[in-house]
Structure 1
């Protein structure tokens, strides 16, 4: 081999190595952010699926600066809670969607997003959308990423980076009620044969296995969001013909029942899995606070979708090019019939980052990063 080319190749090798080492040793900021869940945190995975649940159409993403206001597959007008938390914890780039072509090489060192619109804890959840990635498959996908980290950093550094520098965030469960148990078309059999208790038992059993699998692949710092007040979203209010200050009682009761069991599960895992920290994010109370006291936070409505069509709350048809669009997106708690606006996401993220134990326990996310 020509000595000149050999030296150039050697220099290139060490430059690459120093980049990877720098990414793996950068103190005071988050290493990788691994995001699992549903459409609340999907950053574009569903763009690559033949599915009825997509958000890569205008005006979704209209306020997302990184894409100059073009849709990315995020189900909101701007950033998701996952995006905002990553930024605040010092990440230079957003976690890349696992199914995107660029989710290879050093891009994954800042994290990977596995979330999928319509996905749930249970494999049957979201069947109505034809395709979606449930939590079991999302964990399978992380297994692929985990092997890529070994190749990028070497097994020892990779293990360290994932255990000590990375946060695993899981936002899932709402679809298991909205697009499974409560959906008459799909669930009539399940609801006759299974009580709410039985269904929630199944959810918790599945989630326990999913979180334990991540732990076995060196995940140690977890934040798990509970299910929000799904009975108060514009879609539920519209189809049930409720007044502005009413919510669907059954949907919220199921969410609260599941949330109680989730809290117990996280306490159990904190005791059972050595070296782990499972943080409980009380999304239900946070979003309910915004919905109830929306004026205090500068919103003008917590009932009507900014982008949508149908009924008094624009809550039936998802956001798309023919939807009615509100004038001031920062004044709406909800962007579309299902999902919060970026303005609401910012308030929720702030509490998860720096809030007290009412909303995030046993530690907030800034403290979790530094453990």
Structure 2
């Protein structure tokens, strides 16, 4: 695509260039508000508020003249730009350490209510183009296989933790329904739902087709199980 990596909002010291966009993502972040045990304090709501602050500051600088134009987006970029989302997996992953699978299933609607609230705020600020990733096969991540996959009965045919993947599939099913609902509500928007789960599952189940045999074999030797390459 010949596009640069976006500079991070949290790395704004000096004169970073946000002309092409801004990255609000933070490792370990969740959709639900952070708690005392969260890996990252920058939950989705915080990231949305950071965007609101970013936009307000950009408009303020644009009003001062052309001095900062080469470093910040033009005003119409906020409407024409693409808003990309890849979040939600950490909500599920963290929950497995303290909740039953039924409790996790029951929490998914609340997760998506929080996500919907953020999307609506961005729409109200002029955002019209939304690119939303669903979550990948959580049960195939090496960390989860090692921690929760010691009982072979809990693994699927690929060696992944089946409960984790069931939760991911349920989240994705409800997320897909939400994107269709939002597209119906906001007819002037473009909402694209990207099926990352299927893409990664295909990569894992057909790893030899993608010339990953040696690497997967090394992983299997180390852990005794087939691991996700993520």
CA-to-partner distance for each residue in 1:150-200, whole Å, 9 max, x for gaps? 134459x94422212x11110011100111x2112xxx4xx59x7344301
Q: Which runs of structure 2 are paired with 1:189-228 in the superposition (5 Å)?
A: 191=100, 195-228=103-136
In the TM superposition, residue 314 of structure 1 has moved relative to its aligned partner by: 11
SS at match of 1:295: helix
2:6 corresponding residue in structure 1: 95
2:89 corresponding residue in structure 1: 174
In the TM superposition, residue 311 of structure 1 has moved relative to its aligned partner by: 4.0
In the TM superposition, residue 274 of structure 1 has moved relative to its aligned partner by: 3.7
In the TM superposition, residue 245 of structure 1 has moved relative to its aligned partner by: 2.8
Structure of higher CA gyration radius: 1
1:145 corresponding residue in structure 2: 54
1:287 corresponding residue in structure 2: 200
1:96–1:103 CA contact under 8 A, matched in 2: no
TM-score by length of 1: 0.52
1:120–1:126 CA contact under 8 A, matched in 2: no
- When residues 104 and 278 of structure 1 are mapped into structure 2, their CA distance, relative to the original with a 3 A threshold, is farther
2:78 corresponding residue in structure 1: 162
Q: Does 1:109 align with 2:28?
A: no
Q: Does 1:266 align with 2:174?
A: no
CA distance in 2, matches of 1:223, 1:248: 28
1:125–1:175 CA contact under 8 A, matched in 2: no
CA distance in 1, matches of 2:178, 2:43: 20
SS at match of 1:96: coil
CA distance in 2, matches of 1:222, 1:216: 13
1:97–1:103 CA contact under 8 A, matched in 2: no
CA distance in 1, matches of 2:50, 2:77: 18
In the TM superposition, residue 219 of structure 1 has moved relative to its aligned partner by: 1.2
1:230 corresponding residue in structure 2: 138
> Which of 166, 190, 202 is matched with 1:253 structurally?
166
CA distance in 1, matches of 2:43, 2:191: 21
1:95–1:110 CA contact under 8 A, matched in 2: yes
CA-to-partner distance for each residue in 1:73-100, whole Å, 9 max, x for gaps? xxxxxxxxxxxxxxx1x42x32111111
- When residues 141 and 214 of structure 1 are mapped into structure 2, their CA distance, relative to the original with a 3 A threshold, is same
Aligned residues: 215
Q: Please, which runs of 5 or more residues in structure 2 have no aligned partner?
A: 65-72
TM-score by length of 2: 0.82
1:47 corresponding residue in structure 2: none
Q: Please, which runs of 5 or more residues in structure 1 have no aligned partner?
A: 1-87, 316-332, 335-339, 341-371
SS at match of 1:195: helix
1:66 corresponding residue in structure 2: none
